[in-house]
C-alpha cells in the first residue's frame, strides 16, 4: 500500500516538473493572449522574467502603427539626456571591448547582405550629407591625405599601373560612355577631366608625371574655384555648352613654354597653372595667340611674371 502511494506521488511530482519546464519555455502575450515560445519575446532586463510582456509580432504591429510618435519621442528623450546617454555608452564600450568586438565580427559575418542593403539605402538617402562631410574632412586633413596617397603610390607604383591598365582594357566602352555622358551633363566634371588631361600632358612633356595623385593636390584652388574664375572672365557668347572644340579654350596668359619645371612640386609649375595665369579664350584667338605673349595682356602678364620671379628668387 505504501509503495503505491509513493509511485503515485512520484508521477504527480514528475507531471508538475514537466508542467513547470513547459511554463518556463513558453509565455503568454499580454496583448494577443497567445501562449508562445520564449524565443518569440524580446528581452527586457527590467521585468521579472527578463522578457517583454508583448510578443514580437504584437510589438512590431504596435511600432508600425505608432512609428512617427515613437521616433519623435526617442529624439526628444535623446536631446534631453544627450550627455548622460553618451557617458553611459562610452562607459559600456570601455568595459566590454572584447565582447563588443566578438559580437560585431559575428554579426557582420552572418549578415553581409543585410548590411550591404542597409548601407546602400543610407548612402542613397544621405548622398548630399555624405558628400559634404567628406569634403569637410578632406579640407581639414588635406596635407595628411595627400602625403598618405603619395606614400601609397610610391610603395605600390607598379601594382597600381598594372591594375589601372587591366581595368581600362576590360572596361573601355563602359568608361568612355560614362565620361561622355558625365561631360555633357556636368560642366564642372568636364572641366575637371579636361584640366587633369592638360596637366598630365604638360608634366609628361617635361619628363615627369602626377605620380598617381590628383592634379588639384598640387594647386592652391579647387575645381569649383577654377570654374568660378573662368566664368568671371567670360566674354559675350561664352557658356559651358560651347567650351571645347569650335568654342572657347582654357588658355595660359603666359604660355607654358615660358616656365621650366621638372615636377608638379616646382614653384614654376604652380605659377604656370595659377588662377591668375588662366583665362577662357575663343578657339580662333587661341590659335592666333599660339605660344606668344599678346600685347593686350601685357599688364596682366607683367603682374604674373613679377609674382613668379619674386617666388623663384
Q: Find the range with the poorest average confidence among 15-24, 86-95, 211-220, 257-266.
A: 15-24
pLDDT value of residue 299: 61
Query: What are 147's three cell numbers?
Result: 602625403
pLDDT value of residue 312: 47
Question: pLDDT grade, residue 313 (50/70/90)?
Answer: very low
Q: Would you give the distance in Å from CA 117 to the centre of its chain?
A: 16
SS3 282: strand
Please say if the pLDDT value at position 229 is more than 70: yes
DSSP label at 257?
Answer: G
Q: Cα separation of 133 and 113, whole Å?
A: 26
Most confident option among 130-134, 161-165, 184-188: 130-134
pLDDT value of residue 14: 52
pLDDT value of residue 11: 52
Provide the pairing of β-strand 35-37 with 248-252.
unpaired
pLDDT value of residue 220: 80
Helices 127-140 and 112-125, axial angle in degrees (round to 10) = 90
pLDDT value of residue 24: 62
pLDDT value of residue 72: 92
SS3 45: coil
- Residues 260-282 pLDDT 10s: 777 777 788 888 888 888 889 99
Q: Cα separation of 136 and 138, whole Å?
A: 5
Higher-scoring residue by pLDDT: 190, 60: 60
CA dihedral 168, 249, 292, 206 (to 10 degrees): -20
Backbone torsions φ then ψ of 43, nearest 5 degrees: -80, 150
Q: Cα separation of 231 and 227, whole Å?
A: 6
Backbone torsions φ then ψ of 107, nearest 5 degrees: -65, -45
Backbone torsions φ then ψ of 128, nearest 5 degrees: -65, -40
Query: What are 248's three cell numbers?
Result: 572657347
Please say if the pLDDT value at position 20 is more than 50: no
Residues 242, 248 contacting (CB under 8 angstroms): yes
Residue with cell string 543610407 = 122
Q: Cα separation of 206 and 200, whole Å?
A: 10
Q: Cα separation of 304 and 307, whole Å?
A: 5
Please say if the pLDDT value at position 169 is more than 60: yes
Q: Cα separation of 58 and 31, whole Å?
A: 7
Cα 41 to Cα 24, 28, 37, 175, distances in angstroms: 13, 10, 8, 52
> What pTM does this model have?
0.42
- Residues 233-269 pLDDT 10s: 999 999 988 888 889 988 888 888 888 777 777 788 8
Residue with cell string 551633363 = 185
pLDDT value of residue 213: 64
Of 253, 249, 304, 254, nearest to 280 by C-alpha is: 249
Q: Find the range with the poorest average confidence among 52-66, 165-179, 282-296, 298-312.
A: 298-312
Q: Cα separation of 33 and 159, whole Å?
A: 65
Residues 263, 269 contacting (CB under 8 angstroms): yes
Residue with cell string 598640387 = 218
Query: What are 234's three cell numbers?
Result: 567670360
Amino acid at each position: 500500500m505504501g509503495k503505491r502511494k509513493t509511485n503515485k506521488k512520484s508521477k504527480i511530482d514528475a507531471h508538475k516538473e514537466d508542467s513547470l519546464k513547459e511554463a518556463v519555455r513558453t509565455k503568454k502575450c499580454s496583448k494577443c493572449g497567445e501562449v508562445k515560445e520564449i524565443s518569440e519575446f524580446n528581452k527586457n532586463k527590467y521585468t521579472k522574467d527578463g522578457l517583454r510582456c508583448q510578443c514580437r509580432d504584437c510589438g512590431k504591429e504596435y511600432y508600425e502603427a505608432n512609428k512617427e510618435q515613437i521616433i519623435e519621442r526617442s529624439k526628444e528623450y535623446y536631446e534631453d539626456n544627450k550627455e548622460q546617454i553618451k557617458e553611459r555608452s562610452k562607459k559600456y564600450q570601455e568595459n566590454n571591448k572584447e565582447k563588443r568586438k566578438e559580437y560585431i565580427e559575428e554579426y557582420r559575418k552572418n549578415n553581409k547582405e543585410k548590411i550591404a542593403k542597409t548601407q546602400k539605402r543610407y548612402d542613397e538617402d544621405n548622398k548630399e550629407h555624405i558628400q559634404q562631410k567628406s569634403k569637410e574632412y578632406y579640407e581639414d586633413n588635406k596635407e595628411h591625405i595627400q602625403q598618405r596617397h603619395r606614400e601609397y603610390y610610391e610603395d605600390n607604383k607598379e601594382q597600381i599601373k598594372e591594375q589601372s591598365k587591366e581595368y581600362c582594357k576590360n572596361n573601355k566602352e563602359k568608361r568612355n560612355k560614362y565620361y561622355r555622358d558625365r561631360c555633357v551633363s556636368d560642366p564642372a566634371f568636364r572641366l575637371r577631366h579636361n584640366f587633369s588631361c592638360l596637366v598630365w600632358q604638360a608634366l609628361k612633356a617635361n619628363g615627369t608625371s602626377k605620380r598617381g595623385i590628383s592634379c588639384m593636390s598640387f594647386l592652391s584652388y579647387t575645381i569649383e574655384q577654377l570654374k568660378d574664375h573662368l566664368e568671371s572672365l567670360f566674354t559675350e557668347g561664352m557658356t559651358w555648352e560651347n567650351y571645347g572644340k569650335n568654342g572657347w579654350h582654357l588658355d595660359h596668359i603666359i604660355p607654358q613654354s615660358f616656365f621650366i619645371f621638372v615636377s608638379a612640386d616646382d614653384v614654376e609649375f604652380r605659377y604656370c597653372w595659377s588662377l591668375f595665369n588662366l583665362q577662357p579664350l575663343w578657339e580662333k584667338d587661341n590659335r592666333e595667340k599660339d605660344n606668344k605673349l599678346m600685347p593686350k595682356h601685357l599688364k596682366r602678364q607683367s603682374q604674373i611674371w613679377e609674382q613668379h620671379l619674386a617666388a623663384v628668387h
